[in-house]
């Protein structure tokens, strides 16, 4: 049994749908089955997030029976936490200013061996004069990128095994001065004692960057478990346009029954699912959600 913590960290940009609720249930089951505490965090650094949506998300999570062991934390309450880490990385010479837009990155030439989707290093080795000129040319405040010394990094995932992904010079502070997701999530997890990260497998590709940064900052890498997503009948990620997908629309206890059925549990309560829980028996393929089923 572990002594750390697991967590669920929704971004309050929209009401939680059945897929989000399913992932939250799995995060709770992973934590409780391993003797960990379970924590809740509101990842609200994005400009598209809203406090009223966050309140509804927490209400829905409580309504399906989830319990967490400390009051929910909000990322926007901890700007100094991120500032201090950015300052530390800058003092170590590990950051540089970048003026590239998404379009610039997409159109930039790449070395033949460069991984697809990796930052091409446009601003990495600019002279001070060239950097100043780039700032004047773009008229944008710079983002800060991490100067990495690897191209890829390998993590171990409970459900996917060894996974090797791109670790480019990723952004740690956006041009508006706000901490980027890849930095904030690592810093928050370390600050909260979170050593188990359970989330949708669409985020698996981000785990090598985050594990690499955790190592740079002297934190142990968490135990990862990236769970299968919920898709609509067209095979796309579930969204509100797919009909009755939120807790308010589905209702309790039907929503919890659907989640239990999708995971192969006989029980339809959280306590019953915890008694049956075995990570090795979890489905590895997406659940296709049909609102009328």
pLDDT (tens, 9 = 90+) of the chain, 293 residues, equals: 667 999 999 999 999 999 999 999 999 999 999 999 999 999 999 988 999 999 999 999 999 999 999 999 999 999 999 999 999 999 999 999 999 998 888 888 766 666 677 899 999 999 999 999 999 999 999 999 999 999 999 999 999 999 999 999 999 999 999 999 999 999 999 999 999 999 999 999 999 999 999 999 999 999 999 999 999 999 999 987 888 899 999 999 999 999 999 999 999 999 999 999 999 999 999 999 988 76
Q: What is the set of domains in the chain, with CATH numbers?
A: 1-77+231-293 (3.40.50.620), 79-227 (3.40.50.620)
The model's pTM: 0.95
CA distance 273 to 287: 18
Q: How is residue 48 written in tokens?
A: 């598209």
Nearest to 214 by CA among 92, 91, 89, 44: 89
CA distance 48 to 36: 32
Residues across the chain: 293
The confidence score (pLDDT) of residue 3 equals 79
Q: How is residue 39 written in tokens?
A: 């924590």
CA distance 96 to 118: 16
The confidence score (pLDDT) of residue 71 equals 97
């Amino acid at each position: 049994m572990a002594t750390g913590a697991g967590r669920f960290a929704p971004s309050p940009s929209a009401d939680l749908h059945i897929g989000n609720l399913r992932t939250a249930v799995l995060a709770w089951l992973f934590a409780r089955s391993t003797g960990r505490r379970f924590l809740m965090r509101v990842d609200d650094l994005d400009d598209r997030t809203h406090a009223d949506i966050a309140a509804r998300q927490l209400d829905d999570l409580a309504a399906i029976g989830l319990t967490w062991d400390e009051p929910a934390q909000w990322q926007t309450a901890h700007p100094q936490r991120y500032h201090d880490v950015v300052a530390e990385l800058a003092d170590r010479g590990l950051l540089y200013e970048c003026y590239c837009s998404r379009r610039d990155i997409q159109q930039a030439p790449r070395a033949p061996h460069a991984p697809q989707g990796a930052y091409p290093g446009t601003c990495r080795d600019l002279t001070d004069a060239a950097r100043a000129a780039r700032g004047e040319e773009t008229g944008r405040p710079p983002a800060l990128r991490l100067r990495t010394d690897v191209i890829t990094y390998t993590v171990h995932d409970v459900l996917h095994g060894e996974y090797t992904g791109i670790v480019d010079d990723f952004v740690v502070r956006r041009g508006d001065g706000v901490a980027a997701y890849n930095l904030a999530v690592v810093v928050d997890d370390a600050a909260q004692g979170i050593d188990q990260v359970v989330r949708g497998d669409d985020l698996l590709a981000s785990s090598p960057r985050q594990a690499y940064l955790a190592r740079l900052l002297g934190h142990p890498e968490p135990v990862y478990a990236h769970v299968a997503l919920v898709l609509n009948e067209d095979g796309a990620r579930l969204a509100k346009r797919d009909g009755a997908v939120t807790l308010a629309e589905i209702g309790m206890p039907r929503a919890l029954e659907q989640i239990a059925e999708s995971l192969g549990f006989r029980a339809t309560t959280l306590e019953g699912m915890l008694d049956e829980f075995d990570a090795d028996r979890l489905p590895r393929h997406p659940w296709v959600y049909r609102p009328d089923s």
